[in-house]
Chain A
Amino acid sequence: MFSPSSRRQFLQRASGGFGAIALAGLLADTQAAEVRQAAGSPTDPLAPRPGHFPAKADRVIFLFSTGGVSHVDTFDYKPRLVADHGKKISATRWLNKPGKFERFLIRPHWKFQPYGQSGTPVSELFPHLGGVIDDVAVLNAMYCESDGHDKATLAAHTGSAQFARPSAGAWVSYGLGTVNRNLPSFMVLAPHAPYAAGQTWGSDFLPACHQGTHVIPGAEPLPNLRPRTPQPGLQRMELDLLARLNQDHLRQHPADQALDARIRSFETAFGMQREAPEAFDLSQETEETLNLYGINRKTTTGFGWQCLVARRLAERGVRFLELIDVGSSNNWDSHGNMADHARLAKAIDLPIAALLTDLKRRGMLERTLVVWTTEFGRTPFHQQADHAGREHHNLCFSSWMAGGGVKGGVVHGMSDEHGIFPADGKVHTHDLHATILHLLGIDHERLTYRHAGRDYRLTDVAGEVVRPILA
């Protein structure tokens, strides 16, 4: 029950080696490299290849805030909610149960103000993001089916709330490959696992080379990167002998691409040992840049590091980067007290604004799609008038996109007067995924994988590209 030997299956498994590109050249000429290698090596599933049509973006930085961020306290400004604070309404769902519930409207806990030339309203929680809002398209009528953390988090990542499926990053890696084989194609920078843990970045039925590589901020972001030999040079000796033995072996077993791929993967790994730590090493960044990301401020050090490293990895050709701010506990799940939102927003606001600013001044924003989302919003109402917290609200919430092919300074979608239901321009998780793929040059209906007798898609049998926000 192992080891397929057919060529088709071989394509799935050989993902190492094959012409690692020198970093210097890569940084200068990522796109050209992509064009050159468009055909890719037929034996290499991670070889870069073009999408179905010309792409607007080459890569994605997917920011995920765990726990459910309140839309009416961040990006969805509802003056009527302020005016109607404390009023009784009849809610049709409560704690994911349908019915009629008398509930009290709760006003936003923070003030809003218009930012930028576009005048997009943003709350006091995200003043720095407000500063770059003219690059951002806010989606104010997002919705999904599930109001459980686990399921909604899976849906936001895999398109399926119920069953284990490949993550969006794995689909993108499968669809487009990657330009720098010294780094994984899909990397997840997260200090703690979110809900559903590794399933959120799993490859599931896609070949495992497409699964997200979990980078844990700290001394050893990627495991097994440091040589363990008594002296560093000795490892070269080991690999040289290995290469000679493998060449002998290959001579006796000619024309086996898998053997060849395995040989090359050691050279690639040796390259990763050199390059990956360099990507995580911020010592070459200027003081100004470090300050921009808030690396030296206590509250923003963590996410600042994630954002700055994401930029460095994006420069080095990583196809899909996901940044998760907090794990499955102590997160945005403010049932008890919305005051938590202030601390969590403070930790990410400055770094995210810095990321957008930095990408823009380096000319990278144009080809880098930045997405921010969360599993769901929070109820604009509560069982108790004046309750300090909010419950889960999957019927309507906010996300945003910026960069690579996205119109800046626009707000798409509108909720009703109290932010309870989408009123116009609603966007489902499938639509968000379809839009991400579209901007990468992929038709979400044509990116399929045959599994268990069916052609699976990231977007299941749904998904519409959100065209109004396309630049």
Chain B
Amino acid sequence: MVPLVALLFHPVLPSASAVDPPTEAETVFEKEVRPVLVQHCQRCHGPRKQESGLRVDSREAMLKGGVSGPGIVPGKPDQGTILAAVHHRGDIAMPPDEKLADRQIAALAKWVAAGAVWPQANTAPAATQDSIAASTRKHWAFQPVQAPAVPKTQNSTWPASDIDRFILARLETAKLPPAPPADKRTLLRRVTFDLTGLPPTPAEIAAFLADTSPDAFAKVVDRLLASPHYGERWGRHWLDVARYADTAGDGADYPVREAYKYRDWVITAFNKDLPYDQFIRQQIAGDILAKNAPADQYDDYVTATGFLAIGKRYGYSPKPDYQYLDFADVIESVGRSLLGLSLGCARCHDHKYEPVSIEDYYALYGIFQSTQWAFPGGEEHKRPAHFPPLVPPAEVARLEQVKAQELAQLDSEIAKLNRERGQLDGTGRVGGLDLGLENQPLGKPPAGVWLSAGPNAVLAEAQSPFAHVHPTGTRGVRVGSSAANNGVRYVFRPGLRAVAGQKMHFTIDFRTVAPTDKTGAYRFYLGQGVIASTAVDCSVTPTEFAIKNGSKWEVIRKLTPGTWYTLQLTIDHATKTFSGQVGTANDRTTFENKSVFPGWNGVIDTFICDGNGHVAGPAATRDLDNLGLSETAFPAVGSTTPAVAPLPADAQARIQKLDAEITAITKRRADVQARVAYPVAYAVSEGKPMNVRVQLRGEPDRLGAEVPRRFLSVLGGDPVPANEPGSGRLQLAEWITRPTNPLTARVFVNRVWQGHFGRGLVATASDFGLRGSPPSHPELLDHLTARFMASGWSTKSLHRWILLSNVYQQSSLADEAGRAADPENILWGRFPRQPLDAESIRDGMLAISGLLDRTPPQEHPFPPVETWAFTIHRPFHAVYESNHRGVYLMRQRNSRHPFLSQFDAADPNLSVAERKPTITPKQSLYLMNSPFMHTQSTAFAQALLQQPGDAQAHARAAFEQVHGRVPDDSTIAEAVTFVETYQNQLTQGKPPTPAQTVAAWAALGRVLFMSNGFLYVD
């Protein structure tokens, strides 16, 4: 609110013109005030942005101020929001990062006190500058990739490749020699774990040792790259970056049954060396590209977009409420994983360090907002939704039709049998046998088609006196439960489904048992299922009758406890209305044109009487009788008893036969219903194209200007073409993977280097921005990147170049001089020793013990989707043990897998650039005492003892399997002595049982598994 005084205040405009010399006030402004405003304020309060509605690039704007009031009041430096903020006087302290110097504040105050003179010629806002500073544009990572000249080295014999020349040139400059080559056993163990995450087998070791040909190692590399285990290992590296998990990550952590399809797609993509640019394009826009893809790859392309969908989710239902957070995850993940740029900061403000503006962020946001996201299920909507089909649309339509026809066929069979049955037992006709109630035993809760919860019983006293629908019978239902959620339920077979031109009719007799001290209401519910879709709710207290008109309760009439009433309803799905009458023969109240429940689906198959009525509190005991649901109207209360046809003699036997048939067909129907008409993926599809508005400070309800969809300014800023009918993801995929993009290929080549050497040429693998580490060998990075793109983005080629270099094949043992000169091994003058990661520890032990199941597993054994009721109060949680490889273990976001998290596997809540290995006593306890370790070591011992040979031979084999090498004889002798002593401890002088022998050798196995010879790779 702008105070009146500010509106009336007429600015004293200075008479300055271009020819007049500047007045003193103008000089003060230009020298001391304007620079402060430009440097410290206008970035957020200027032409581009008006945080809190305030801009400070003109006098008028400053007078007007923002949401908190006028910015300045000329002549009154103690008023206005701007001076208060720079003085840190009130709630707002500005600028946000650092208080202005006292001198600057004083100048502002002085200027305001003197009337805030603003030279007229300069009232127009300063011309907007390029939002990206020239120095930023010069940052190394934004320069085009250019293959540099390969350096010459003094030592011309050591290099086997250009990689070696780049590395050696730097080593020579530092006067350091490269390390000698690693021995063959070390090299084989290194490359086997590196490419497959598994140890070499003794047979593989023997074959490599025996192969003395010059290309022996190249053959090993080819063999490993061709192994299906290669994709499991390198796919897992990608899944770290892609923040893969098998659950959604909202509070209830819903399982995602289809997540594994993306996981398997990644593994397969690596195994078949899918060119990296295509790998990315499919993950961003596979669903769009699928239309022109080979028919047998349609499903692969759609599955690939799981990369976008697989992040942490925040919503409870498939509504856009929390999508800004889902998108925050997606945008940050896309930036870090593909571009090595952190974009997340720009959600709330221009990035402080990187050339990414808030407009850049919302330009990308628009692309994702224009996309339809699979919803995994959540607290409010407990079922998956919008999962894209893995078959083309025409096939979807055909398969859906096939299924619908099949269901319709079964429905009609069931309906026919039910009609027949209804004719026999009287429930199918008006005037029949009171929905079979007359056949229920007295004194017991109603059973069979009825469901009862609470103290309810079929009683003679509960018989209605009316006979206008059914003949006077001998019993009714007394519902004695007063709790809100207890009562009785009746399921009509068949129910009614809305048919054009036909209404539905319902009738019931009821009374509140008198006397009663209860004042709460009981309810009559009609609809599909228990809560699936409500049609109509009526409600009764001892003294009044109400109906729900739309979503509002409306009292219709007064009632007297103990009196029997008839309620009849006529429901019309076409007009979404119902009418009815309630009362006795000579006291009827009618009501008309009331709205059914919003969103009712037109099906009524369930009646419920519970305590969820219009008045809270315990409900009174009530009697119910003479229910009916029909496509034809019921006789009104007071009319005569309808005639009843006698039952055929063999009715009961035929009913039984019909029941058996109905049960069988109903089961068949359920099977068909449960059968997926077509496979789906946890992925994305095209939505409604739209631009979005900037969310000021990242708050979705504070909107700024609309931003057209486009790419990041620093990478070209290309707009989504005006005639593009889709979201813009197709363009985004192209922009990211075009060869002129300086980041995408560099970032990936660096990740591959990091995968082999433990650290990238850029140490911050997901941060190539201004705050990231600069590359240690920029020329080598560009050399590899240029070559990689020229090779058709072939990852396996990149592996070969690196692995066949002498840099990779160096020993990890540096001499002391080398260690002292380059302790962090920045120059790669030796191979860096690396700890096994979580999956390799586990899979390595399983492989050596012989328990590893090398096949890809079936889907996770999640509970059936029909049973999902997870909430934040009772979230989904499971740990599924398996002997398949670790990449296939079910990973949850909210409760991390106990083994994987303990051994520093990636946290799936964010895109992980590198594992951060820790060494903790808890890990050691796991290795010493966990059931898993003891199972592996026992299986290992059993397999070992199956091999021929004596104890020495067994010990040698044990070392070779676990460490990849055989130690000297004295260590073997020590191991054998250990086993013998251990066994003697167990036998206490008696001859050993086979189990005791196994236990002793298992102990040796455990020691080897716990040892650094196993846990590290040289």
List residues of chain A with CB under 8 Å of any chain B CB: 1-9, 12-17, 148-150, 162-164, 181-182, 184, 193, 195-199, 202, 204-205, 207-209, 211, 213, 222-231, 233-235, 237-239, 241-242, 244-246, 248-250, 252-253, 255-256, 258-259, 261-263, 265-266, 268-273, 328-329, 331, 333, 384, 387, 452-454, 461
Report how far A3 CA is from B190 CA in the complex, Å. 13
Residue in A closest to B915 when the chains form the complex, CB atoms: A2
Q: Does B834 contact A2, Cβ atoms closer than 8 Å?
A: yes
**How far, in Å, is A128 (CB) from chain B's closest CB?**
28
Report how far A248 CA is from B1011 CA in the complex, Å. 11
Chain A residues in 8 Å Cβ range of B909: 163-164, 199, 204
Report how far A222 CA is from B763 CA in the complex, Å. 36
Report how far A213 CA is from B907 CA in the complex, Å. 16
Q: Determine whether B769 belongs to the interface, using a CB cutoff of 8 Å to chain A.
A: yes
Which of B758, B813, B874, B895 contacts A3 (CB under 8 A)? B758
**How far, in Å, is A198 (CB) from chain B's closest CB?**
5
**How far, in Å, is B876 (CB) from chain A's closest CB?**
10
Q: Does B874 contact A266, Cβ atoms closer than 8 Å?
A: no
11 other A-B residue contacts (CB within 8 Å) besides A2-B835, A198-B895, A204-B907: A2-B914, A12-B916, A16-B924, A150-B872, A164-B909, A193-B877, A198-B896, A209-B919, A241-B974, A258-B919, A329-B874
Q: Determine whether B342 belongs to the interface, using a CB cutoff of 8 Å to chain A.
A: yes
Q: Does B758 contact A15, Cβ atoms closer than 8 Å?
A: no
Q: Does A328 contact B971, Cβ atoms closer than 8 Å?
A: no
Q: Does B767 contact A452, Cβ atoms closer than 8 Å?
A: yes
Chain A residues in 8 Å Cβ range of B1016: 258-259
A–B pairs, 26, beta carbons within 8 Å? A2-B917, A13-B917, A14-B919, A162-B314, A162-B325, A163-B910, A193-B875, A195-B872, A198-B895, A199-B894, A223-B898, A223-B925, A228-B931, A229-B1003, A230-B986, A231-B986, A245-B1011, A258-B919, A265-B923, A269-B921, A269-B924, A269-B928, A273-B925, A328-B874, A328-B875, A453-B771
Q: Determine whether B251 belongs to the interface, using a CB cutoff of 8 Å to chain A.
A: yes
Q: Does A250 contact B918, Cβ atoms closer than 8 Å?
A: no
Q: Which of B895-910 contact A (CB under 8 A)?
A: 895-896, 898, 901-902, 904, 907, 909-910
Q: Determine whether B765 belongs to the interface, using a CB cutoff of 8 Å to chain A.
A: yes
Q: Determine whether B954 belongs to the interface, using a CB cutoff of 8 Å to chain A.
A: no
Chain B residues in 8 Å Cβ range of A248: 967, 971
Chain B residues in 8 Å Cβ range of A242: 1007, 1010-1011
Q: Does A149 contact B251, Cβ atoms closer than 8 Å?
A: yes
Report how far A213 CA is from B922 CA in the complex, Å. 9
**How far, in Å, is B731 (CB) from chain A's closest CB?**
26
Chain A residues in 8 Å Cβ range of B1008: 245
Report how far A226 CA is from B929 CA in the complex, Å. 7
Q: Does B916 contact A196, Cβ atoms closer than 8 Å?
A: no
Q: Does A208 contact B895, Cβ atoms closer than 8 Å?
A: no
Report how far A16 CA is from B926 CA in the complex, Å. 14
Report how far A2 CA is from B982 CA in the complex, Å. 36
Chain B residues in 8 Å Cβ range of A258: 833, 835, 919, 1016
**How far, in Å, is A230 (CB) from chain B's closest CB?**
6
Chain B residues in 8 Å Cβ range of A256: 833
**How far, in Å, is B246 (CB) from chain A's closest CB?**
15
Q: Does A6 contact B759, Cβ atoms closer than 8 Å?
A: yes
Q: Determine whether B1015 belongs to the interface, using a CB cutoff of 8 Å to chain A.
A: yes
Chain A residues in 8 Å Cβ range of B639: none
Q: Does B925 contact A148, Cβ atoms closer than 8 Å?
A: no
Q: Does B758 contact A197, Cβ atoms closer than 8 Å?
A: no
Q: Determine whether B739 belongs to the interface, using a CB cutoff of 8 Å to chain A.
A: no
Q: Determine whether B992 belongs to the interface, using a CB cutoff of 8 Å to chain A.
A: no
Which of A12, A234, A235 contacts B918 (CB under 8 A)? A12
Report how far A272 CA is from B927 CA in the complex, Å. 14
Chain A residues in 8 Å Cβ range of B974: 241, 244
Q: Does B895 contact A193, Cβ atoms closer than 8 Å?
A: yes
Residue in A closest to B340 when the chains form the complex, CB atoms: A453
Q: Decide yes or no: A253 and B772 within 8 Å by CB, A1-B237, A268-B921, A269-B928 being known contacts.
A: no
Chain A residues in 8 Å Cβ range of B141: none
Q: Does B824 contact A6, Cβ atoms closer than 8 Å?
A: yes
Q: Determine whether B50 belongs to the interface, using a CB cutoff of 8 Å to chain A.
A: no
Which of B251, B834, B922, B923 contacts A196 (CB under 8 A)? B251
Q: Does B834 contact A3, Cβ atoms closer than 8 Å?
A: yes
Q: Does B1007 contact A238, Cβ atoms closer than 8 Å?
A: yes
Q: Does A5 contact B759, Cβ atoms closer than 8 Å?
A: yes
Q: Determine whether B754 belongs to the interface, using a CB cutoff of 8 Å to chain A.
A: yes
Q: Does A268 contact B1003, Cβ atoms closer than 8 Å?
A: no
**How far, in Å, is B387 (CB) from chain A's closest CB?**
24
Which of B342, B353, B824, B913 contacts A7 (CB under 8 A)? B824
Chain A residues in 8 Å Cβ range of B812: 253
Residue in A closest to B1004 when the chains form the complex, CB atoms: A241
Q: Which of B342-366 contact A (CB under 8 A)?
A: 342, 344-345, 353-354
Q: Determine whether B1018 belongs to the interface, using a CB cutoff of 8 Å to chain A.
A: yes
**How far, in Å, is B350 (CB) from chain A's closest CB?**
14
Report how far A194 CA is from B888 CA in the complex, Å. 27
Report how far A12 CA is from B835 CA in the complex, Å. 14
Report how far A114 CA is from B332 CA in the complex, Å. 52
Report how far A223 CA is from B879 CA in the complex, Å. 15
Which of B344, B767, B925, B1006 contacts A224 (CB under 8 A)? B925
Q: Does B916 contact A224, Cβ atoms closer than 8 Å?
A: no
Q: Determine whether B755 belongs to the interface, using a CB cutoff of 8 Å to chain A.
A: yes
Chain B residues in 8 Å Cβ range of A213: 922
**How far, in Å, is B930 (CB) from chain A's closest CB?**
5
Residue in B closest to A272 when the chains form the complex, CB atoms: B921
CB-CB contacts of B983-1018 with A at 8 A, as 1s and 0s?
001100000000000010001101110111101101
**How far, in Å, is B178 (CB) from chain A's closest CB?**
16
Q: Determine whether B616 belongs to the interface, using a CB cutoff of 8 Å to chain A.
A: yes
Q: Determine whether B873 belongs to the interface, using a CB cutoff of 8 Å to chain A.
A: yes
Q: Does A245 contact B325, Cβ atoms closer than 8 Å?
A: no
Residue in A closest to B251 when the chains form the complex, CB atoms: A150
Q: Does A253 contact B813, Cβ atoms closer than 8 Å?
A: yes
**How far, in Å, is A243 (CB) from chain B's closest CB?**
10
**How far, in Å, is B74 (CB) from chain A's closest CB?**
33
Q: Which of B74-90 contact A (CB under 8 A)?
A: none
Chain B residues in 8 Å Cβ range of A197: 253, 875, 877, 894-895
Residue in A closest to B770 when the chains form the complex, CB atoms: A453
**How far, in Å, is B820 (CB) from chain A's closest CB?**
10
Q: Decide yes or no: A237 and B872 within 8 Å by CB, A5-B758, A199-B909, A249-B1013 being known contacts.
A: no
Q: Determine whether B825 belongs to the interface, using a CB cutoff of 8 Å to chain A.
A: yes
CB-CB contacts of B773-789 with A at 8 A, as 1s and 0s?
00000000000000000
Q: Determine whether B573 belongs to the interface, using a CB cutoff of 8 Å to chain A.
A: no
Which of B353, B354, B835, B925 has the most chain A CB atoms inside 10 A of its CB? B925
Q: Does A454 contact B929, Cβ atoms closer than 8 Å?
A: no
Which of B354, B872, B874, B967 contacts A149 (CB under 8 A)? B872
Which of A148, A164, A237, A262 contacts B1012 (CB under 8 A)? A262
Q: Decide yes or no: A195 and B981 within 8 Å by CB, A208-B920, A225-B929, A452-B336 being known contacts.
A: no
Residue in B closest to A209 when the chains form the complex, CB atoms: B918
Q: Does A228 contact B934, Cβ atoms closer than 8 Å?
A: yes
Q: Does A245 contact B895, Cβ atoms closer than 8 Å?
A: no
Chain B residues in 8 Å Cβ range of A207: 916, 918
Which of B345, B616, B985, B986 contacts A454 (CB under 8 A)? B345
Which of A15, A149, A271 contacts B920 (CB under 8 A)? A15
Q: Does A228 contact B1012, Cβ atoms closer than 8 Å?
A: no
Chain A residues in 8 Å Cβ range of B434: none
Q: Decide yes or no: A453 and B767 within 8 Å by CB, A233-B985, A269-B928 being known contacts.
A: yes
Chain B residues in 8 Å Cβ range of A255: 819
Chain B residues in 8 Å Cβ range of A13: 835, 916-919
Q: Does B925 contact A269, Cβ atoms closer than 8 Å?
A: yes
Chain A residues in 8 Å Cβ range of B920: 15-16, 208-209, 265
Chain A residues in 8 Å Cβ range of B928: 224, 227-228, 235, 238-239, 266, 269-270, 273
Report how far A258 CA is from B919 CA in the complex, Å. 8
Q: Does B921 contact A3, Cβ atoms closer than 8 Å?
A: no
Report how far A213 CA is from B898 CA in the complex, Å. 11
**How far, in Å, is A442 (CB) from chain B's closest CB?**
22
